[in-house]
Structure 1
Amino acid sequence: MPQETAMPHHRKLHPTSAQISLRRLRPLWLGLPLLASAGWMPPAAAQTCQASAGNTPPAVVELYTSEGCSSCPPADQWLSTLKPEDGVLALAFHVSYWNHLGWLDPFATPETTARQHRIKAALGGAYVYTPQVVLNGRDHRGWHGQTAKQLPPLPAAQAPALRLRRTGNQVTAHVGPSRANTSLAGYWAVLQDGLGSQVTRGENAGEHLRHDHVVRLYQPLPAWPAAQAHTVQITLPAGTADQRVAFVVTDSGWTRPLQALALRCS
């Protein structure tokens, strides 16, 4: 350490303004580790993930089902065998018109029920029924025993480009232009797996039913000109971080799918 004689007249050095600033900041620096050890951490950035549709669109399988229908469990079990990695987008739309038998299907909504009535009208059906399987926009009664590989994909020539991006609870869909139609429409579907009910009334009383690919949120969108690229967004409800989000591009009537993509952030 320098001797005092190196400083004539024992002159006291006054701290510079920079040194004063450093002294004032030092307690804050020392406090940060203490805050971290007490459990405080800076807020994490919102999770982001994205996916793009490939050259071959998936097969789109819609199952209209109800927990109040005794013939529906085999169809529910079949739908569970269809996996996204096998090139299939499976959607279980639960309907409410069997609720009058005494069991209220907890996954049925007015929106999902209304979709089946729209499908019936588009296909010229005389009535709605369950279980109904709609494959790529067409009634499909030969689903029993079929594997995912036996389900034809959507025609690639009519499929526009599609990309999904999720940041936190906001999901954006970018749809490319298409020459196959004059206008396009689409819908969001939030899907959940591994759901179940212990049914106490109705046709399935006493049964424990399990479901996958359940549409928990269904939101159709207005049509747009097919020749133009289109971007749409949805803000998801809280608690959907572990659920898949699908976007389906359709004809202007929302019934015939042209392209589809599902996204899950992990």
Structure 2
Amino acid sequence: MENLPPEVLSHVFAFAIPRHGYRDHYVSETTNDPQAELSLVCRYWEQVVIKTPQVWSYIHLSRNTTEKTLRRRIELSSRESLDVRVDVGDDADVDSSTTFPDLYDILLETIDRWRSFVFQGTVSFQRMLKLWIPKRLPNVVEAGYYGLIEDDDEGLELCDNDTGEFQEYRFKPWTAAPKLRRFAAETAGQFYFRDCPLVTEFAVSDMGESWGGNSDVHSWHDKWEEYFILLASRCPQLEVLELSDSWDFDCVDPMGWTRTETKWPRFPHLHTLKINAVGSASTIPIISKFNAPNLKTLHLGDIHY
């Protein structure tokens, strides 16, 4: 590749930088610094990398990031849109750090250029998330939230562990993302947006953790119904919905579905529904009640209709 002209090589390098990582739960250390890896190959590559703003458009902020490195990457990215990943690790370590909050403030100065935003890490309480998830994401079109909350996963679940009652949020959503199109989260309760009318794709990777621990007080039917009411109100343009889990679970009392005539909310634009790793007792009632007149593609586990 030493014989390639710089304009061709820079185009190749741009493809080497991750841009669509909002569905990635975990980014290993080997991919945290792709710019440095390219620069270390040879002097010619280093020169091309430095002069290619697209190569610097991916910024991974972690406890290992230095102020010098962050400022240099922001400078070399020029006016390019940025794909940002904020990795707090364990916020107990962040609390003891005198540099991470300052680095985050530096990164926030570029927020108008953020094209995608991913949060990952562990926090002690849900309110701590407000320190690392901005109140506004003006130009973000893709986002992913993969946070663990040590206080019994407070705020991640949609149902209270003590009563089993459905809860929209223990804390009001705080983020406005008017241009957001695609969003993925570890649990359904991590939907912290108060303004996101353009969302067309929504994916949850761990529905089992979203329901809480008490399944006796509140019927599973009502939980699913209220969850879809929530989605329909917050994502009126939803086109693709994916609900997954790491293990097969049945979270529906099949008899409960015969005791109600309630109509589920309508999803007028939804054309693709994917339900992965959900038990048959849940899947059949969900499909029978789901109100999506324009549904064209249905995935049930490995089965594609």
Asked whether the two chains share a fold, i.e. TM above 0.5, the reply is: no
Normalising to structure 1: TM-score of the pair? 0.22
Higher strand share: 1
Larger Rg: 1
Greater percentage in helix: 2
What is the TM-score of this pair, normalised by structure 2? 0.20
